[in-house]
Amino acid sequence: MPGRPEDRRGAAVSPGLLRRLLALLCAVLLGLGAAQDIVSVPADQPLSVEQERQVERIGMKIHCPICSGESIAQSQTDISRNMMNEVRDMVRQGRSEAEILRTFASSYGDRILLDPPKTGITSLLWTLPILLAAAAAFGWWTYTHRATRAPEQELTADQEARIQALLNAADRSPPPPGPPRKSP
């Protein structure tokens, strides 16, 4: 027949069968959509004030991947907004701050955290400036302590005379036993 769709064997497919299959497909899709709404938390469900504070607190601990020195809570870029929405969804699902930060660190690496864990080389990078500052302060204190000591006093005439007498006596004493001394 000219107006009817045909299958590969050339037989006509009835319009009633097509309508029933289409209705069944719609029912299955609607059922899947309803099941998803029952299982998941709606994304448009408003957060409590405490949850919003938690989202902001977590957002302040995550570095914006394209901004210099800004957190995703401070940044106005699209990627930061998307990341904040991700944080918001995780808070809505009841995940803890530590879980959310671990999720971002596992996805983006520890550098995504504004305060990365201080292990390995990062612990050295965190402690080295403190040690250098302490060494510099000690060096400065030592330098200024030496400079502020009481100035050396001049020798009195009596002290100079005694020193000169000791030097003259040392010159007149016989040399100690051993190889001969060369005179200057």
Q: What is the pLDDT of residue 23?
A: 74
Cα separation of 103 and 165, whole Å? 85
- Write down the pLDDT at residue 138: 92
The whole-number pLDDT of residue 5 equals 55
**pLDDT tens column, 12-54:** 667 777 788 777 776 777 776 665 544 444 556 788 999 999 9
Q: Which residue has the tokens 């016989």?
A: 174
Number of structural domains (the chain) is 2
Low-confidence ranges of the chain (pLDDT < 50): 37-41
Dist CA 135 CA 131 (whole Å) = 6
Q: Is the residue at 99 inside a domain?
A: yes
Residues 34 and 75 in one domain: no
Residue at which a domain ends, from 66, 86, 112: 112
Name the pTM for this structure: 0.45
